[in-house]
């Protein structure tokens, strides 16, 4: 019982500390003390607290400190939590334009692009909520139809459309869930990072160099090393301290 009381009292105290850190960080940013702002925001993250505004402010602080890779990492983290935040998207585009030797793939087929845009504009939780709402509307219409309160061809068609739409929405949510679960990505946070043929220096050769801000897929890892995959298919091993996982 004693431990429960301590937890109950610590909860508000921790929340107040986080609010103070966020406020101090914002004030430091306004006053141009970007390193101090970064320190405050990172301390909040160390307490396993996060939200889109925090990552947005952290990204802005890193950008003003000319740490483009870390800014891009923060903006990407913010977009994951708030995928339709125009401010974060805009700042991410500006930061991405600063990447040296940026790798850009050709535009995909427009239907595929539309599907990706739809999938990326909502979180998994939002997809589930939308799908559940559609199923609720379908169930309400079906119940009214069964009891004879309403009944015509248009209602039947609406029910069919709602069922198909709900199935598609939940299908997208399921795909997004497995994609996020099975795909690990990171952002390079230093310039001129050397990618080796193996997870140690020794006789391994440098395959290529990669600059800060680049998005990479993460494959297997060993102590202090991780294998990365670039969007053009190149693979190599880099030290873990040269990237931040998303």
Query: Of 125, 99, 118, 53, which Cα lies nearest the Cα of 230?
Result: 99
Cα–Cα distance, 178 to 109 (Å, whole number): 23
Instruction: Check for a shared fold between 2-96 and 184-245.
Output: no
Q: What fold, for 2-96? A: 1.25.40
For residue 17, pLDDT beyond 80: yes
For residue 108, pLDDT beyond 80: no
Higher pLDDT: 155 or 89? It is 89
pLDDT at site 180 = 85
159 contacts: CB under 8 Å, gap ≥ 6:
138, 141, 142, 145
Taking residues 195-203, report their average pLDDT.
85
pLDDT at site 230 = 93
Q: 3-class DSSP state for residue 8?
A: helix
**Domain ranges (residues) in the chain:** 2-96, 110-182, 184-245
pTM of the entire predicted model = 0.84
Q: What fold, for 184-245? A: SH3 type barrels. (2.30.30)
């Amino acid at each position: 019982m004693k431990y429960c009381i301590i937890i109950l009292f610590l909860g508000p105290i921790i929340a107040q500390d986080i609010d103070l850190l966020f406020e101090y960080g914002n004030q430091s940013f306004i006053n141009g003390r970007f390193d101090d702002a970064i320190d405050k925001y990172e301390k909040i993250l160390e307490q396993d607290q996060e939200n889109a505004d925090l990552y947005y402010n952290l990204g802005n602080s890193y950008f003003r400190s000319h740490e483009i890779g870390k800014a891009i990492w923060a903006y990407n983290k913010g977009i994951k939590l708030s995928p339709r935040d125009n401010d974060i998207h805009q700042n991410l585009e500006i930061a991405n334009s600063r990447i040296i030797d940026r790798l850009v793939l050709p535009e995909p087929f427009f239907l595929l692009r539309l599907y990706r845009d739809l999938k990326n504009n909502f979180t998994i939780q939002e997809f589930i909520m939308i799908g559940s709402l559609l199923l609720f509307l379908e169930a309400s219409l079906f119940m009214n139809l069964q009891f004879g309160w309403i009944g015509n061809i248009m209602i039947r068609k609406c029910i069919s459309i709602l069922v198909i739409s709900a199935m598609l929405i939940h299908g997208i949510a399921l795909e997004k869930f497995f994609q996020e679960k099975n795909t690990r990505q990171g952002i390079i946070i230093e310039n001129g990072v050397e990618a080796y043929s193996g997870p140690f220096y020794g006789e391994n050769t440098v395959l290529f160099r990669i600059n800060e801000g680049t998005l990479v897929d993460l494959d297997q890892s060993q102590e202090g090393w991780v294998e990365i995959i670039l969007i053009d298919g190149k693979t190599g091993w880099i030290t873990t301290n040269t990237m931040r996982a998303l």
